[in-house]
Amino acid sequence: MCTNRDINEARMTIDLDRPYRLSDSQVAQFRRDGFIKLKDVFNADELRHYGEEITRLTIALNTQTLPLEQRSTYDRAFLQVMNLWREGELVREFVFGKRLAGLAAALLQVDGVRLYHDQALYKEPGGGITPAHADQYYWPVDSDRCITAWVPLQAVPQEMGPLAFFAGSQDVEFGRDLGISDESEQLITANMEAHGFPVVDAPFELGEVSFHLGWTFHRAGPNRSDRPRAVMTVIYIDRDMRLKAPENHMQQADWDKWCPGAVVGEVIDSPINPVLFEPT
């Protein structure tokens, strides 16, 4: 566990508010493809400093006790723990860092972003596929101005199951009513292939981060390595995002848990959805 002294010493050399400059062509690429992968967003020291604590909390707070072979397809995909930022100061620093949030705002081309929630994803050795899906199926938000930053805490070679994107799929409506399941893997993948959407499933280098829109379809392969694939994600929404009436029970659950007190038709401005970045 990190001590206060460790945290204070690290602050002297780590600055998560340092901006990462995007080119106009990168913003245009994201708008076209619905996702982008960016190299060297974090360095090895930053990932080690925050990653150790993220992993420790994920393992400590995880409630999954069944062996892999007894779990559902969803539960074989990864262990997941949400809103780790509320569990410790070090993770809060990471989630509230302006570098990631600034990238989210620039890619979404909005005047600011607020936190929807964070989510640690820990794919164990032998963990199964993450079936094809679009994240926004789960979110009661009234526009597509929402984005997930997918931050591997180590390099992700092919055998670990890197996140894979169906490039340009963010405007496809078929499959938006499917949660993560065997059915979503079969039907969405078949539809993507039928329409010729290319799959981008390249490994992630150390420090490489991806961003994808809420409606961009994506999946991940199994973890065939002997090491866990540890990933931290942060989900951002437009600063002015409004809550919509839930369209399924998962959106209702998200409203209750991640947007407490928010009102349908009004900006999602709850105590746990703070604004994390506004351009100066």
What is the structure's pLDDT at 6?
54
Q: Is 243 helix (H, G, I), strand (E, B) or coil?
A: strand
Summarize pLDDT for 15-29 with one digit per residue, the tens. Answer: 999 999 999 999 999
Alpha carbon distance 113, 92 (integer Å) = 16
Alpha carbon distance 143, 120 (integer Å) = 24
What is the domain partition of the chain in residue ranges?
A: 22-129+144-240
What is the structure's pLDDT at 176?
98
- Average pLDDT value over all residues in the chain: 95
What is the structure's pLDDT at 12?
47
What is the structure's pLDDT at 234?
98
Torsion of CA 92, 93, 99, 101, to 10 degrees: 20
Q: Please report which helix (H) or strand (E) contains residue 194, including its range.
A: helix 182-194
Q: What is the CATH number of domain 22-129+144-240?
A: 2.60.120.620
**Edge-to-edge strands, sheet with 199-200:** 130-133, 218-220, 163-166, 199-200
> Of 34, 258, 246, nearest to 147 (Cα)?
34
Range of lowest pLDDT (28-37, 60-69, 196-205): 60-69
Summarize pLDDT for 137-168 with one digit per residue, the tens. Answer: 999 999 999 999 999 999 999 999 999 999 99
pTM of the model: 0.93
